[in-house]
Amino acid sequence: MSDPAPTIVKNGDVTCICLGPEFENLDETLLDQIRDQLLDAAKNASPPLVVVDLQYTKFFGSSFIELLFRIWNRLNALPDGGFVIAGLADYCREVLEVTHLDKLWQMTATVDEAVALLAKK
């Protein structure tokens, strides 16, 4: 059985990192398998506009939040960088609200909304 991998696609100028149904629960083991892929996708995004699509993810913990922060920090340091999280489940949105990261990161209901938001940059 192969290791699960995120799907990386371009939508216009925006790089979309899509975590499919196999990423419903982003535990440490799964995160260890995809961490470098997510960081590389953000690093190689040109222009540096990234959407992380979490429509299938129902649970993540502090390690995934730290990874999102690293991606955001890398993109935010660039003059034209942009970062949006799309498709958050209620629990995941609540986690980001409790940690006040919803004030730092833009969040949308859908990938299309996220892409449109970044296209305005």
Radius of gyration of the chain (CA): 13
- The pLDDT, as a whole number, for residue 1 is 52
- Omega of the bond leading into 48 within 30 degrees of 0 (cis): no
User: 7-119 in CATH: which number?
Assistant: 3.30.750.24
- CA 111 from chain centre, in angstroms, equals 11
Strands 7-11 and 14-18: antiparallel
Please state the pTM of the whole predicted model.
Answer: 0.95
Q: From CA 76, how far away is CA 105, in angstroms rounded?
A: 10
All structural domains of the chain with their residue ranges: 7-119
pLDDT tens per residue across span 65-98 = 999 999 999 999 999 999 999 999 999 999 999 9
